[in-house]
Structure 1
Amino acid sequence: MTLDVKKSIQSGKTVLGIELGSTRIKAVLIGEDHLPIASGSHDWENKYENNIWTYSVDDIWKGIQNSYQQMIADVKQQYDVTLQTVGAIGFSAMMHGYMAFDKDGELLVPFRTWRNNMTEQASNSLTELFNYQIPQRWSIAHLYQAILNQEEHISDIRFQTTLAGYVHWKLTGQKVLGVGEASGVFPIDLETKKYNQKMIDQFNELTAPNNLPWKLEEILPEVLVAGESAGVLTEEGARLLDVSGELKAGIPLCPPEGDAGTGMVATNSVAVRTGNVSAGTSVFAMVVLEKELSKVYSEIDLVTTPTGNLVAMAHSNNCSSDLNAWVGLFDEFTKVLGLEIDPNQLYGTLYNKALEGDPDAGGLLAYGYLSGEHITHFEEGRPLFVRSSDSHFNLANFMRVHLFSALGALKIGMDILLKQEEVKLDEMLGHGGLFKTKDVGQSIMAAALNVPVSVMETAGEGGAWGIAQLASYMINKAENETLEEYLNEKVFSGQTGITISPDPKDVEGFEQFMKRYKSGLAIERAAVEYLK
């Protein structure tokens, strides 16, 4: 087996995927059987500077280069080969946000990530203008808000893109996006798989009084669908990616995608009536729709699969960050006692304890709002835990309520889809950090959504593995072979997973918790207003 892998590496039959997540950059090299053969990662954190959640350009490249170096070191250690080429490369990253560049390719303002809830005026105006939900984190909302704010840099913009689009551009010279990523920049026409031209014209007419030296279509990246070629690695790009200088130029790249699209691929959730939920720093659930929704909902985003099919997304800015902070507190306590406990054991112990709690978490209430939360209309967040004097306060319920709260805002959005719109969903495929502890995250998610939740064997590989599959599809697909066919027959054939169906008692308990969650939002509002 090792000899076959070694031969694949030497002959350039492997495929590389790199994803820039909100807390980790991961590089995954896959073999001809689509399974990972080497990986590397780099931990990073966004910074809150001048009231903006951001990552610096230096941190972006340092992280990419470090994760790549770790991956090639893994290749060298396992197979005694120096990696010099691969069959294809794909890049993905957290979606949305704002990166605007001038004529010289210089970044005009610090990167504004998806986490910034600072575009409410633009979001509302564009949603009304287009009769189409434009969330605050979408790139077009950031652009229009900057115009409304009369920011100085607006006239100097010659190119606007996302994080994935930026990295791809610097490595290939190509200003392109995959359609799934592009659908979080500006609405997509489902027929043409390009930006909606009518809405482009509406935006240009709206901003005409500003006398800008550009039209919207002139500054946005070109839209490509899965399977299309998106350029090749340039000499400059090869040196930028691989600081050791071994990687050769000329490698083809697939269209850069967002973490939503790679999550769909990584869970084989690109066909209608399938859905997936990614739960980590943020949490978002996506359902591939059979038909359009009956009306516009502020809580529901419409994006697309990497092939351009319509997807409804419920996205919550906050998921596990506050939960992780509480686990960190327990970790600190164990160290004070002189105990060294493995983090996986600590998480596993505390998460499993949650399964022993009361179905409704014993009357406890928590909000893990480290940042603002658009579904519940908060521009800022204040993590808090509160209980009544007669609540059932113990460790099991404490952990349970924080797991419940991590999904509270998501539940509001998903109830619209599943209850109001009666969207049909056979199962949800789960991936992300919340599902690392066996059975726990699945059980809580199944209770929240009242839908069976499955986790595949490869779910832990996440978006880097997903974008690698898209790059593989580009170079290995048969003529007229769809992405759905490719994933079913070549990537996921024979794979097994674990499915947990909702327990009616837990479903009812979560519904009881949600009544408390909605009523208690006034407490969160007071915390935002008084804890400045």
Structure 2
Amino acid sequence: MSLNAKQAIENGKTVLGIEFGSTRIKAVLVGENNEPIASGSHDWENSYVDNIWTYSVEDIWKGLQESYQEMANDVKQQYGVKLQTVGAIGFSAMMHGYMAFNKADELLVPFRTWRNNITEQASTELTELFNYNIPQRWSIAHLYQAILNKEEHVADINFQTTLAGYIHWKLTGKKILGVGEASGVFPIDLETKSYNKKMIAQFNELIASKNVSLKLEDIFPEVLVAGENAGTLTEEGAKLLDVSGELEAGIPLCPPEGDAGTGMVATNSVAKRTGNVSAGTSAFAMIVLEKDLSKVYPEIDLVTTPTGNLVAMAHSNNCTSDLNAWIGMLEEFSQSMGIEVDKNKLYETLFTQALKGDPDAGGLLSYGYLSGEHMTHFEEGRPLFVRSSNSNFNLANFMRVHLFTAFGAMKIGMDILIKEEQVKLDEILGHGGIFKTEGVGQSILAGALNVPVSVMETAGEGGAWGIALLASYMINKQDNETLDEYLTQRVFADQAVKTVSPEAKDVEGFEQFMTRYKQGLAIERAAVDHL
């Protein structure tokens, strides 16, 4: 494989994907068979400046350049060649947020990330105006809140985009977003695969009444779907990306996408009746719908696949953080007893114990709310573990209840889709740390959703690989070959997949837990109010 990879590098037959996650920027180079052949990364953290979660422009470019350079060095070390060109490039980043620029292309206010909950008034008013859920983290909510706040910079806005759109613009000169990314900026018309014109007119009329003269169609990026060419790397862009000057200009770029879209691609869940659950610090389910929902639900975000199909997102802020803290304490206990335990072995042992517990986790109750949880209407969180005098308190049930509660808030959103909206699902693809121990997280989630849950070998490759696949699709697709066909037949055809189907006792046990979970929210409310 290494010889083939070397030839692919020398012949410009590779594809590069780079994704800006919330804690890491990752660059992945893939070969002709779409498998990663080199990678590089850069760790970074957001800063809380003047009550705003942000990343500085300097940190954005430093992180991009260092992750690229580490990947290029990996190429040199592995294959003994310089990386001078690739077949295509794609950029992805965490969705939403706010980056506004003036006519001189200067950033008007520091980048406001998705993590900011500062747009409640805008979110509420726009949801009512459009009859369409506009979450606080969406870009249009940030813009409208700035207008409501009478922020001076609004008068100077010439262009508004996202982090992925900003990187793409600076490297190509093109103001473009992929439709999946754009669906977290403003609602999308599923027919035109672009911004909803009726809602744009409603917004323009709304802000005109507040003496604001800008028009959304003048400041928003163009929307493209997967497979379309989104420009080429300019001479200036090549120097920005590769400070060593070895990378050549002229490389085509695919439309920049958000992390939700690249997660769908990386798990081959872009077709209708499929979905994926990403479970780590937060948990969110992305379900590709066959039809519109019957009404607006504040618990459900509507976005799209990179091809413009409607997706329902059930997103919870909390997942594994509290569970990790408990396992950390158990590790500390073993060390104090003079027993050194490998961390992976510790997780595997404790997770496996959960399968030995009672179907409903023995009557135990837990909330892993390290932060607030919008799904259950908590502005702050207090991690809690609660049991009654007749609960079956043992290690197996203790681990089981903490795995249950990791999916608890997300399950409320999924119940809306499956039980109220009758959304049909053939399977869910799971990815994230909670699925690393074979069969455990899968069994818990299958019982929670009453749907088969599959995990792929490549589930850990993540969004950088997902955006690389979108770039590969752009240059390698055959006539009329859909993204779903490309992924299924050319990327995942030989992929090893392990599937766990739900068992009736686990489905019933999780429903019993959820009854307890909802009733116990009053305990969580008291903790938030009084602790």
- Quickly name the TM-score band, shorter chain normalised: over 0.9
User: Aligned pairs, how many?
Assistant: 531
The alpha-carbon distance between structure 1 residues 529 and 109, as it changes in their structure 2 partners (threshold 3 A), is farther
Read off the aligned partner of 1:514 and give its amino acid letter: M
Residue 168 (structure 1) aligns with: 168
Residue 271 (structure 1) aligns with: 271
Contact 1:117/1:374 (8 A) holds in 2: no
Comparing 512-521 and 421-430, the one that deviates more: 512-521
Shift of 1:114: 2.0
Counterpart Cα distance in 1 of 2:261 and 2:149: 32
Residue 488 (structure 1) aligns with: 488
Tell me the alpha carbon deviations over residues 50-72 of structure 1, each in whole angstroms, 9 at most, x when there is no partner.
44333333333333223222222
Read off the aligned partner of 1:214 and give its amino acid letter: L
The alpha-carbon distance between structure 1 residues 386 and 158, as it changes in their structure 2 partners (threshold 3 A), is farther
Residue 344 (1) aligns with residue 344 (2): yes
Comparing 318-327 and 29-38, the one that deviates more: 318-327
Shift of 1:337: 5.0
What is the DSSP-based 3-state SS (H/G/I as helix, E as strand, rest coil) of the residue aligned with 2:25?
Answer: strand
What is the DSSP-based 3-state SS (H/G/I as helix, E as strand, rest coil) of the residue aligned with 2:209?
Answer: helix
Counterpart Cα distance in 1 of 2:281 and 2:10: 37
Counterpart Cα distance in 2 of 1:397 and 1:243: 54
Contact 2:301/2:313 (8 A) holds in 1: yes
Residue 460 (structure 1) aligns with: 460
What is the DSSP-based 3-state SS (H/G/I as helix, E as strand, rest coil) of the residue aligned with 1:326?
Answer: helix
Shift of 1:508: 1.5
Contact 2:95/2:258 (8 A) holds in 1: yes
The alpha-carbon distance between structure 1 residues 42 and 392, as it changes in their structure 2 partners (threshold 3 A), is farther
Shift of 1:264: 1.3
Comparing 123-132 and 337-346, the one that deviates more: 337-346
Counterpart Cα distance in 2 of 1:216 and 1:333: 57
Read off the aligned partner of 1:475 and give its amino acid letter: I
Q: Unaligned 5+ residue runs, structure 2?
A: none
Counterpart Cα distance in 2 of 1:330 and 1:148: 49
Counterpart Cα distance in 1 of 2:483 and 2:420: 30
The alpha-carbon distance between structure 1 residues 381 and 486, as it changes in their structure 2 partners (threshold 3 A), is same
Residue 414 (structure 2) aligns with: 414
Counterpart Cα distance in 1 of 2:335 and 2:160: 47
Residue 127 (structure 2) aligns with: 127
Counterpart Cα distance in 1 of 2:465 and 2:406: 25
Q: Unaligned 5+ residue runs, structure 1?
A: none
The alpha-carbon distance between structure 1 residues 89 and 70, as it changes in their structure 2 partners (threshold 3 A), is same
The alpha-carbon distance between structure 1 residues 386 and 166, as it changes in their structure 2 partners (threshold 3 A), is farther
Read off the aligned partner of 1:129 and give its amino acid letter: L
Counterpart Cα distance in 2 of 1:158 and 1:142: 16
Comparing 288-297 and 182-191, the one that deviates more: 288-297
Shift of 1:334: 4.5
Residue 177 (structure 1) aligns with: 177
Shift of 1:93: 1.4
Shift of 1:84: 1.6
Counterpart Cα distance in 1 of 2:305 and 2:507: 29
Question: Which TM-score applies when normalising by structure 1?
Answer: 0.95
Q: 1:347-496 to 2 correspondence within 5 Å?
A: 347-496=347-496
Residue 499 (structure 1) aligns with: 499
The alpha-carbon distance between structure 1 residues 344 and 474, as it changes in their structure 2 partners (threshold 3 A), is same
Counterpart Cα distance in 1 of 2:188 and 2:296: 15
Residue 155 (structure 1) aligns with: 155
The alpha-carbon distance between structure 1 residues 330 and 422, as it changes in their structure 2 partners (threshold 3 A), is same
Read off the aligned partner of 1:270 and give its amino acid letter: V
Residue 31 (structure 1) aligns with: 31
Shift of 1:149: 2.4
Counterpart Cα distance in 1 of 2:328 and 2:316: 22
The alpha-carbon distance between structure 1 residues 18 and 124, as it changes in their structure 2 partners (threshold 3 A), is same
Shift of 1:338: 5.5
Counterpart Cα distance in 1 of 2:157 and 2:107: 9
Contact 2:278/2:430 (8 A) holds in 1: yes
Shift of 1:231: 1.4
Counterpart Cα distance in 1 of 2:391 and 2:45: 36
Counterpart Cα distance in 2 of 1:370 and 1:503: 30
Superposition RMSD in Å: 1.9
Read off the aligned partner of 1:19 and give its amino acid letter: E
Residue 108 (structure 1) aligns with: 108
Contact 1:373/1:381 (8 A) holds in 2: yes
Contact 2:204/2:214 (8 A) holds in 1: no
Question: Which TM-score applies when normalising by structure 2?
Answer: 0.95
Counterpart Cα distance in 1 of 2:60 and 2:436: 26
What is the DSSP-based 3-state SS (H/G/I as helix, E as strand, rest coil) of the residue aligned with 2:345?
Answer: helix
Residue 41 (structure 1) aligns with: 41
Shift of 1:321: 2.6
Comparing 168-177 and 372-381, the one that deviates more: 372-381
Contact 2:207/2:213 (8 A) holds in 1: no
Report percent identity of matched pairs.
79
